[in-house]
Amino acid sequence: MEMGDLQMSTTLDPVDRLLDSVMQGQSIVRNQDVLRFDYIPSMINHRDQEQKEVAQKLLPILRHTRPSNLLVYGKPGTGKTLIIRKVLLKIQERAAGDNTAIKIIYTNAKNETTLYGLLVSFGRQLGLDSKQIPTTGLSISEVFKRITSQISSNALNTVFVIDEIDHLAHLILKSHKDLLYQMTRANETLGPGSLTLVGISNDLAFKDALDPRVLSTLSEEEIVFTNYTTDQLRLILEERAREAFADPSNIEDSALNLCAAIAGSEHGDARRAIDTLRVATEIAERLGVTQVTQDHIREAVAKMDEGKEMAALRSYPLHEKLLVIAVMRATGATTGEIYLLYGDLCSKTGQKKLTQRRTTQMLGELEMSGLIGGRLTHQGMHGRTKKFKLLVSPNRVCETFAEDLMLADLV
Q: Helices in 13-137 by DSSP H: which ranges?
A: 14-23, 48-58, 80-96, 115-125
- Closest-approach residue to ligand ATP (CB): 79
Query: Are 399 and 310 a contacting pair, CB within 8 Å?
Result: yes
Question: Is position 81 an interface residue for Mg ion (rule: CB under 5 A)?
Answer: yes
* Cα–Cα distance for residue pair 248/176, rounded to 1 Å: 54
Stretch that binds Mg ion, among 73-81, 191-199, 271-279, 390-398 (CB under 5 A): 73-81
Of 106 and 401, which CB lies nearer to Mg ion in the complex structure? 106
Cβ proximity to ligand ATP, 54 vs 372, nearer residue: 54
Is 227 a residue that touches ligand ATP (CB under 6 A)?
no
Nearest in space to 196 (alpha carbons), one of 223, 218, 165: 218
Size of the site for ligand ATP (CB under 6 A): 19
Question: Nearer to Mg ion by C-beta: 81 or 217?
Answer: 81
Confirm or reject binding of residue 400 to Mg ion (CB under 5 A): no
**Residue placing its CB nearer to Mg ion in the complex, 81 or 107:** 81
* Of residues 20-49, those binding ligand ATP (CB under 6 A): 37, 41, 44-47
Contacts by 50-57, CB closer than 8 A, 24 or more apart: 50/79, 50/83, 50/223, 50/225, 51/83, 51/86, 51/87, 53/223, 54/83, 54/84, 54/87, 54/223, 55/87, 55/90, 55/91, 57/221, 57/223
List residues bridging with 225 in a β-sheet: 74
Q: Whole-number minimum distance, CB 263 to ligand ATP, in Å?
A: 10
Assess 207 for contact with ligand ATP (CB under 6 A): no
Give alpha helix (H) positions in 192-316.
Answer: 206-209, 212-218, 230-244, 253-266, 270-287, 294-315
The yes or no reply on residue 76 touching ligand ATP (CB under 6 A) is yes
The β-bridge partners of 71 are 199, 222
Q: Which does 41 bind (CB under 5 to 8 A by kind): ligand ATP, Mg ion, none?
A: ligand ATP
Is 78 a binding residue for ligand ATP by CB under 6 A? The answer is yes
Question: Given the complex with Mg ion, which of 108 and 294 has the nearer CB atom?
Answer: 108
Q: Which residues of this protein are in contact with Mg ion, per CB under 5 A? A: 81
Binding region for ligand ATP (CB under 6 A): 37, 41, 44-47, 74, 76-82, 202, 236, 270-271, 274
